[in-house]
Structures are given as structure tokens and as C-alpha cells.
């Protein structure tokens, strides 16, 4: 029984060591750095976050260049999923707005399900 307990201890110790390594690795990413640097609040809607819903808080690159990750965090802001999507939608509209507008204008439905109804009712 003592051998089995030692085996469980080493497995749990390995699990703890792995979790600590993952945490250290995560803190090295720009997301980990930004979460340590800034309060867990959306920069647009001011929604507050806890460990329970932290996965819904994203790191937005202000200049939209995901390779631009200065150590001081000056290119980052924390945004909730909804505000982050909105920010990228605005950016895409700015970049491709005229092309999207033309597509939207041409993509309107032209099918009229009642087009021949008057003729059918006359018969």
C-alpha cells in the first residue's frame, strides 16, 4: 500500500509540476503578459472579468499587427469577445468597405414568391 501511495504522490507531483510549467509558459505569451499588466476589464464596455469567465477576455492589437508585441504592452488592449469582434468588423469595413457595400447591394434577393399569383387566381 505504501508503494501505491508513493506512485500516486509522484503522479500528483508530476501533475502539479506540469500545471506550473503551463502557467509559466502562458505568462510568457502576450496574452499572459497583458493579463498581468492590465485590469481584467473590457476597454470598451467596461465589463469586469474573473477567473470563471476570463476566457471571454481577449487581447486586441491596437494596430492590428499580431506580430507587434512590445514588452510595455503599448499595442494591446483587453476587450471582451463582443467588443473585439466589433472592433475587427469596423476595421474590415474601413479596409474593404466599398467592396463589401457593392457585394451587399448586388446580393439582394430578386426572387418574388408571389410573382405569378394574380395570374393563378384569375384561372
Q: Is residue 113 in some structural domain?
A: no
Measured between alpha carbons, how far is 25 from 32 in angstroms, rounded to an integer? 9
What's phi and psi for 71, nearest 5 deg?
Answer: -60, -25
Q: Which residue has the higher pLDDT, 102 or 21?
A: 21
Q: Is residue 102 in some structural domain?
A: no
CATH classification of the domain holding 31: 3.40.1800
The domain of 70 spans 26-96
Q: In the predicted model, is pLDDT for residue 36 greater than 80?
A: yes
Q: Is residue 106 in some structural domain?
A: no
Q: Is residue 92 in some structural domain?
A: yes
On whether the CB atoms of residues 62 and 77 are closer than 8 A, the answer is yes
- pLDDT tens column, 58-110: 999 999 988 888 989 999 999 999 999 999 999 888 888 755 555 555 555 67
Measured between alpha carbons, how far is 79 from 32 in angstroms, rounded to an integer? 14
Three-state DSSP at 48 gives strand
Q: Is residue 81 in some structural domain?
A: yes
Q: Is residue 73 in some structural domain?
A: yes
User: Which three cell numbers mark 64?
Assistant: 492590428
Q: Is residue 118 in some structural domain?
A: no
Q: Is residue 84 in some structural domain?
A: yes
Measured between alpha carbons, how far is 122 from 18 in angstroms, rounded to an integer? 78
Q: Structural domain tally of the chain?
A: 1
Q: Which residue has the higher pLDDT, 23 or 59?
A: 59
Q: In the predicted model, is pLDDT for residue 57 greater than 60?
A: yes
Amino acid at each position: 500500500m505504501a508503494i501505491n501511495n508513493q506512485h500516486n504522490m509522484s503522479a500528483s507531483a508530476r501533475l502539479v509540476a506540469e500545471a506550473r510549467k503551463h502557467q509559466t509558459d502562458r505568462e510568457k505569451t502576450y496574452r499572459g503578459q497583458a493579463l498581468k499588466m492590465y485590469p481584467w476589464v473590457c476597454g470598451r464596455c467596461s465589463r469586469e472579468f474573473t477567473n470563471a469567465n476570463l476566457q471571454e477576455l481577449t487581447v486586441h492589437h491596437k494596430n492590428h499587427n499580431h506580430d507587434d508585441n512590445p514588452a510595455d504592452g503599448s499595442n494591446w488592449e483587453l476587450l471582451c469577445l463582443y467588443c473585439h469582434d466589433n472592433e475587427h468588423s469596423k476595421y474590415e469595413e474601413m479596409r474593404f468597405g466599398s467592396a463589401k457595400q457593392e457585394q451587399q447591394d448586388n446580393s439582394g434577393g430578386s426572387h418574388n414568391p408571389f410573382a405569378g399569383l394574380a395570374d393563378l387566381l384569375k384561372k
